[in-house]
Structure 1
């Protein structure tokens, strides 16, 4: 098999050409929003797009600067005072981390982030993008960096608008939201908006424009670290790597659904990492798999690596020839395009149906969204994953506890059911239906104590379906043993595997239990319990008759 398939040559070339045109205004807008400048956004699309396509694991994926990545990168750029050596050191390090993710096969783990968390931080990023661009839409720059200063700048911008900029911005919004679909097949809405807005800006001066945009090839930047900024750079690199990995793999899933193929998640992470590492060395904005551009590529005929590489070649030709024209683009036009991007990132599909789904998932999504907007992304994702995991453990443990005790009618074997009926509640049988989570283990002893009331003389613990015990589960078993001993009740263990028995013996949990209280199957244990109870006509088991 060829490294770069050529069986779909025409489709891949057309997909790359179309996607390159669609990506142009977005790359310029993302570069401007990042603080590094429009040309940095353009070269981010060129470099990340080329290398991620060449070495990645999703044939039709088109990569470049994305809303989530730009939001984080803009924060890093502001925090490090725009020092190129430090800022792009974080980008290079992020790329290396992504390569390591792929090498150590972390792709499948990154995809385990729960949907409410993904929905929350993606919607939060959409809100951030819109908030950052609102003042620019009215012809003003936000005061300070970050979401809160940007939101605080909106009232002042609204009260004192630059009318030319506002007119261009409103027209841009109208074009990107309402551009006819039949025209969009030939001229993408963002590109049309950019061309029309730039022409109006030349005709009616007064709106802030990009100004001088460097042309030619990018310069090499040697990454550097300082003792004061080492932690900030490393934290930023981890966040960029994680966010880029999640963003890319979600895009790969979309591509799989459209093309009926299956991507290689670990190979995709290696490709994204190489792209971002190289981008950092040349002062380019970091990127990830871009859903919209990937969809455009597939719909235009792109299927394989060549389409993503072709998209980068188209952008490179534009960067070398048309950069001077880009200097005339008004800020308000890019703001309008980015507001549409932010709007599209918000998970409206889920929000419209959220009230019909689990309330906890909606609450989790809202928490993550709020933390994303008002704190930071790494906190939002970390808190969201932890809360989701705790909620799952709680639900799992409640179900495990609920299903723990086996009453007569739930016993399948008729002889066992008959024995339990004859014993009339003097034997309590507990069946662990599988591995015990630490959440269930925490309440296990208390639950057994409640169910094994005063009439119970013998407890039977069935471990047949328990493949292993961790420390939490072992401590719960120890609590059951201690309670049975203290209450003078008999205790039988059934079906414990060698692994389970070795843990119980190794931790000296059941030293008071003799070997004749361990059974291979439940029926034998029930018969032994019946024999012991039959010997004690008063229904009171002496310590000698049934030692605990």
Structure 2
């Protein structure tokens, strides 16, 4: 984990500066959204970003306040303020919760549980993030409409009284918010070098400065640390308060960890590196703990900021440090400028962020996703928006676990079937002339059991470790009874990774449910062509052994494909020796002989496939020779060997 690489210092500085520019408007907006003020958002971005960059396990990660964490923090702040009577009196509990969040993340790292956190099902994450997006959008009503004294604070209350906000609307604020959103969407057509949210912040703030319209602004943001009024006492630590603190701390720690590690995976894919999960959680925990002591609130790895860093050249920890120092300079000297930023501008930026957080891709493909996955996702989404976002995740995990256990209980498989498949594969490959070369260039990956959310991490790790000599990977799916949405996403990542390395893909023995999902997500035919799907793994490896099928990048082959072996075991898989595309030669005849040159099969007009029998008697395993007379003046006749395995 390099802090500085001399040849990359310039790119790291540029990447850090770009990430800082992207972080600035969202840090201010998220700080306001939590109810703690813009200064809290800046403290979090500076302190968390700095310490997570130094001690974390992802070189290019940029950490700061994020949408999901902000909504949870805002919920906790509102709850504690309501119980305490004021923000000043609620601060002791809030500081403990935020500090506990960091401590829990450090403990998770020390217990080496970082890799296990990624086992949270994607359906739960998708529903929660979409719910967070909806909450962020709805809660901007007071800033968008300029109605700051509205008695309606919660999402259900706001949605139920939208007519109130429209009737009381301050239309200049609505205009400013709409202009902000429009600039964010349209500015990338002019330039992609400057973040559109920053462009909107600057343009609209300058416009409102020269055209006063009575719009509420942030006001002077002075550099100061929070003052905690209430002293700690024995009475303060009652069982009810301790339960709230523990629940909130664990919820923030779990959410922040998931969010961070998902962003780390994105960074890995973009930089072709591999992050260290436990070290990353340690850095996040340390940053969140320190941030809480100086008036900040917990954040996590931010995908948008991390991507901006990488796209601008950032590759080492220096980039994250530069981003934090840029924000510190703004924090120290930018107070008078920040005072002129209208609340409606920040509201517009947050509406855009809320729209981005909604998992629109998954929602559009709901008809192609298993009904149970849709049920879990929608349940988490609805409970997040209308009830309690902390309990929504817990209930989603319970539903997903019960559903998974039910599917596992429905699966019946025997070890005998597995060993039989492996034995047949070995026999077929051993019959090839260059069996060692084939095994070096072709990897047969036998997938066993359900392909679900717990499958992703181990599978990705194993595929990253394949030999550089491998040119083709065959996924034998004969023992896969079920595949879910998360499993499909895993295959997409694996296929993209392999194809970037120039490795071709084949699937064999896909179940109807798995094939339907692969087609529903357009893996087939966009990433893997349909002629690379085989009914059996034996058929697949026989096809690959044909001249040119490994080396020629799987170009279309309209010629004859003569299998070197077949397995007439009565299992419905490769039970007949069948020459592919033989219909192109309607006059062709086939004769097959045993080792004593005795004729054991002769084709007829209606039957050109050999089932391994002679007059109803099973022929013994071994090598047989064939004569193929095409009766075509343009084509030569063929002779060769075919192996029979039982």
TM-score, structure 1 as length reference: 0.71
The residue aligned with 1:146 is 154
CA contact (8 A) 1:99 1:269 kept: yes
For 2:345 and 2:282, the matched residues in 1 are separated by 35
Residues 533-548 of structure 1 aligned to structure 2 (within 5 Å): none
Distance 1:274 1:396, change over 3 A: same
Matched, 1:259 2:266: no
For 2:379 and 2:232, the matched residues in 1 are separated by 36
Q: Residue deviations 1:132-163, cap 9 Å, x none?
A: 11332111235354322333453211222111
Distance 1:5 1:149, change over 3 A: farther
Distance 1:175 1:160, change over 3 A: same
Q: Once the 2 structures are TM-superposed, how far is the Cα of residue 181 of structure 1 from its aligned partner?
A: 4.1
Unaligned runs of 5+ in 2: 82-86, 424-447, 450-646
Q: Which moved more, 1:89-98 or 1:200-209?
A: 200-209
CA contact (8 A) 2:67 2:353 kept: yes
Q: 2:243 aligns with which of 219, 223, 231?
A: 231
The residue aligned with 2:312 is 300
Q: Residue deviations 1:338-378, cap 9 Å, x none?
A: 01101101111111112112121111110111111112222
Residues 343-358 of structure 1 aligned to structure 2 (within 5 Å): 343-358=355-370
The residue aligned with 2:94 is 87
Q: Residue deviations 1:517-544, cap 9 Å, x none?
A: xxxxxxxxxxxxxxxxxxxxxxxxxxxx
For 1:331 and 1:109, the matched residues in 2 are separated by 40
Q: 1:360 aligns with which of 372, 375, 384?
A: 372
For 1:313 and 1:275, the matched residues in 2 are separated by 15
Q: Once the 2 structures are TM-superposed, how far is the Cα of residue 284 of structure 1 from its aligned partner?
A: 0.8
Matched, 1:310 2:318: no
Distance 1:363 1:4, change over 3 A: same
For 1:9 and 1:181, the matched residues in 2 are separated by 30
Matched, 1:53 2:53: yes
The residue aligned with 2:24 is 24
CA contact (8 A) 1:164 1:204 kept: no
The residue aligned with 1:483 is none
Q: Residue deviations 1:462-508, cap 9 Å, x none?
A: xxxxxxxxxxxxxxxxxxxxxxxxxxxxxxxxxxxxxxxxxxxxxxx
Q: Residue deviations 1:4-28, cap 9 Å, x none?
A: 5444211110011111111111100
Q: Once the 2 structures are TM-superposed, how far is the Cα of residue 95 of structure 1 from its aligned partner?
A: 0.3
1:111 alignment partner, SS class:
helix
The residue aligned with 2:204 is 197
Q: Residue deviations 1:67-116, cap 9 Å, x none?
A: 11110111111111122222121101100000001110111111000111
For 1:213 and 1:148, the matched residues in 2 are separated by 32
Distance 1:262 1:206, change over 3 A: same
Q: Residue deviations 1:186-231, cap 9 Å, x none?
A: x21111111122122222231111123123x645869957224222
CA contact (8 A) 2:131 2:385 kept: yes
CA-based RMSD of the aligned residues comes to: 2.5
The residue aligned with 1:443 is none
The residue aligned with 1:39 is 39
2:382 alignment partner, SS class:
helix
Matched, 1:381 2:381: no
Q: Number of aligned pairs?
A: 409
The residue aligned with 2:571 is none
Q: Which moved more, 1:381-390 or 1:5-14?
A: 5-14
CA contact (8 A) 1:17 1:310 kept: yes
Matched, 1:102 2:109: yes
Distance 1:259 1:269, change over 3 A: same
CA contact (8 A) 1:60 1:297 kept: yes
Q: Which moved more, 1:133-142 or 1:71-80?
A: 133-142
The residue aligned with 1:470 is none
The residue aligned with 2:125 is 118
For 2:114 and 2:21, the matched residues in 1 are separated by 31
The residue aligned with 1:503 is none
Distance 1:172 1:5, change over 3 A: same
Matched, 1:285 2:309: no
For 2:36 and 2:225, the matched residues in 1 are separated by 13
Structure with greater contact order relative to length (CA < 8 Å, sep ≥ 6): 1
For 2:326 and 2:384, the matched residues in 1 are separated by 35
CA contact (8 A) 2:132 2:354 kept: yes
Residues 310-329 of structure 1 aligned to structure 2 (within 5 Å): 310-329=322-341
The residue aligned with 2:71 is 71
For 2:334 and 2:301, the matched residues in 1 are separated by 25
For 2:407 and 2:202, the matched residues in 1 are separated by 54
CA contact (8 A) 2:3 2:318 kept: no
For 2:308 and 2:153, the matched residues in 1 are separated by 33
Q: Residue deviations 1:316-356, cap 9 Å, x none?
A: 00011111211111111000000110110111111111211
Higher strand share: 2
2:218 alignment partner, SS class:
coil
For 1:140 and 1:303, the matched residues in 2 are separated by 45
Matched, 1:333 2:345: yes
